[in-house]
C-alpha cells in the first residue's frame, strides 16, 4: 500500500512540474510573440496597442500579418516602374502649378501602384493596415499624406502641409516601385 501511495504522490508531483514547465513555456512564447510584433511593426506596434490595448492590439497586428500572407503581391516590371516614374514626375510638375491637383494626382498614383502590385484598393483603412505590415516605417507618412489629400478636397490646406504630403507620398511610392525590399527606401 505504501508503494501505491508513493507512486500516486510521485505521479502528482510529475504532473504539477509538467504543468509549471508548460506554463513557463507559454509565457515565454507570449513574450516572444510580443517582442516579435514590436520588432516587426516598430512605432506602429505602440500606436495599435495604445488604441486597442495590448491583448487586442497584438491580435489586430497578427490579423494584419495573416491578411498580408494571403495576398499575392508582385513586383512591377521595369516598363511599369518607368511609366509610374514618369507619372510621378508629372504629378510633381502639376504640384508646382496647382498644389491641390498635384497632391490629388500623387494620392491616386500611390493607389494605382498598390492596386497593380496586388494590394486591395477598395478602402484606405485596409491599404493602411497592409502597408503597416510591409512598410511599418512608412505607414505614418502614408496616413498623414492621405489625410492632407482628403482634407484638401474639402477645403484649403496650407501649402507647407501639401508639400509635406507630397514628400510623404513619395516615400511610399518609392518603396512600392522598388518591390518588396523596404530597406532600400527606409525612412524614419
The span from the CA of 166 to the CA of 148, in Å, is 9
Enumerate residues 6+ apart whose C-beta is below 8 A from 169. 103, 106, 107, 109, 110, 141, 142, 145, 149
Q: Provide the whole-model pTM.
A: 0.73
Instruction: Using alpha carbons, select from 161, 156, 125, 132 the residue that is nearest to residue 42.
Output: 132
Q: What number of residues does the chain have?
A: 188
Greatest alpha-carbon pair distance for the chain in Å reads 97
Sequence-ordered alpha helix ranges (H) in 42-123? 43-52, 54-70, 78-97, 99-117
> How does 17-26 read in b/e, with b if 16+ C-beta sit within 10 Å?
eeeeeeeeee
Query: Residue 185: is its pLDDT beyond 50?
Result: no
Mean pLDDT score, 97-123: 91
Block residue for cell numbers 504532473: 15
The span from the CA of 180 to the CA of 113, in Å, is 13
Which three-class secondary structure state does DSSP give residue 22?
Answer: helix
Write out pLDDT tens, residues 33-82.
888 899 999 999 999 999 999 999 999 999 999 999 999 989 999 999 99
The span from the CA of 42 to the CA of 7, in Å, is 52
Q: What is the pLDDT of residue 154?
A: 66
Instruction: Using alpha carbons, select from 167, 148, 30 the residue that is nearest to residue 91.
Output: 167
Which grid coordinates are listed for 116? 497593380
- CA within 13 Å, CB half, 138: 27
Write out pLDDT tens, residues 133-164.
999 999 999 999 988 888 876 666 788 999 99
Express as a percent the part of the chain with pLDDT over 90: 57
Amino acid at each position: 500500500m505504501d508503494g501505491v501511495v508513493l507512486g500516486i504522490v510521485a505521479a502528482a508531483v510529475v504532473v504539477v512540474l509538467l504543468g509549471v514547465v508548460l506554463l513557463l513555456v507559454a509565457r515565454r512564447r507570449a513574450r516572444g510573440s510580443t517582442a516579435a510584433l514590436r520588432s516587426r511593426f516598430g512605432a506602429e506596434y505602440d500606436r495599435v496597442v495604445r488604441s486597442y490595448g495590448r491583448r487586442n492590439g497584438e491580435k489586430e497586428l497578427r490579423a494584419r500579418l495573416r491578411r498580408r500572407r494571403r495576398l499575392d503581391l508582385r513586383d512591377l516590371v521595369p516598363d511599369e516602374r518607368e511609366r509610374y516614374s514618369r507619372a510621378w514626375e508629372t504629378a510633381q510638375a502639376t504640384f508646382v502649378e496647382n498644389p491641390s491637383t498635384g497632391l490629388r494626382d500623387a494620392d491616386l498614383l500611390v493607389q494605382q501602384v498598390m492596386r497593380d502590385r496586388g494590394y486591395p484598393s477598395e478602402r484606405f483603412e485596409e491599404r493602411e493596415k497592409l502597408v503597416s505590415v510591409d512598410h511599418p516605417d512608412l505607414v505614418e507618412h502614408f496616413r498623414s499624406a492621405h489625410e492632407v489629400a482628403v482634407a484638401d478636397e474639402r477645403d484649403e490646406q496650407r501649402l507647407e502641409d501639401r508639400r509635406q504630403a507630397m514628400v510623404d507620398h513619395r516615400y511610399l511610392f518609392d518603396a512600392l516601385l522598388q518591390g518588396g525590399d523596404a530597406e532600400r527606401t527606409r525612412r524614419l
